[in-house]
Copies of this chain bind each other. A is one copy, B any other.
Amino acid sequence: MANEVVLLNFQPSPYATRVRIALAEKGVEYERKEEDVFNIKSELLLKMNPIHQKVPVLIHNQKPICESLIIVEYIDEVWNHHSPLLPSDLYQKAHARFWANFIDQKIFPIGSKLWTSPSDEAKKAAKELVENFKTLEQELGEKPYFGGDNFSFIDLALIAFSSFFHSFETLGNFSMEAECPKIVEWANRCLERESVSQSLFDKFQTHEAVLGIKKMLGLDS
């Protein structure tokens, strides 16, 4: 079977970043089609993800897969010859899914309130975000990666948001180095991987975009 792989992508999206990292980890060749998510969505995107109309979408042999963690699991299962992302042990696999799910619920939805909510709500969100990073730091413990000695599913799920760490700190008025130094060390460790460093969107460009959204919402006072 031919392996035709297309990614409907938006470079700044942390969710698309997850898929780019997974494809890079697996060494999968693919075609990237850039979507302009803030303006007109392509007919292809509307056809391939009619329900959510969002990137990322992975199109594998003409068939679409949507939702970043579902795509990453799919990639891991299809290209299973090397660089496993999920553990083969079933308990460890459930554990990895649990923490990826925690990250999905507790990092970006809370962190993005720093630039999409009025200041009292944003302040509350900053506090909650720090707590959530501390919870993650506790789960990481002394391990180099969340899953142990190797970069895997939980790392990938979280590192995609590291482009926003600078914005979290700046707008939330806290220091990750002070609050969760092991997470900072862990992020630097992940960044040494080409699959990660080449997939992440620049943190300063991210911050510019974030400030643009804040301004657009009339919250830049």
Known interface pairs A51-B135, A135-B51. Does A78 touch B98 (Cβ–Cβ under 8 Å)? no
Within 8 Å CB of A73, what residues of B? 94, 97
**Which residue of chain B is the closest to A74 with respect to CB atoms?**
B94
Report whether A91 and B70 are in contact in the complex, using a CB–CB cutoff of 8 Å.
no
Contact with A90, one of B74, B94, B95, B101 (Cβ below 8 angstroms)? B74
Asked if A77 is at the interface of the complex by the 8 Å CB criterion, the answer is yes
Max chain B C-beta neighbours (<10 A), residue from A70, A94, A97: A94
Asked if A124 is at the interface of the complex by the 8 Å CB criterion, the answer is no
- A90-121 vs B, CB cutoff 8 Å, 1 = contact: the mask equals 11011101100110000000000000000000
Asked if A211 is at the interface of the complex by the 8 Å CB criterion, the answer is no
Q: How many residues of A contact B (CB 8 A)?
A: 22
Report whether B51 and A101 are in contact in the complex, using a CB–CB cutoff of 8 Å.
no
Stretch of A10-18, A20-28, A61-69, A178-186 lying at the B interface: A61-69
> Min CB distance, A105 to chain B, in Å?
9
Within 8 Å CB of A101, what residues of B? 67, 70
- A36-55 vs B, CB cutoff 8 Å, 1 = contact: the mask equals 00000000000000010000
Residues of A bordering B, CB below 8 Å: 51, 60, 63, 65-67, 70-71, 73-74, 77-78, 90-91, 93-95, 97-98, 101-102, 135
Q: Which 9 A-B pairs have the closest CB atoms?
A: A74-B94, A65-B94, A70-B97, A77-B90, A70-B94, A78-B90, A63-B91, A70-B98, A67-B101
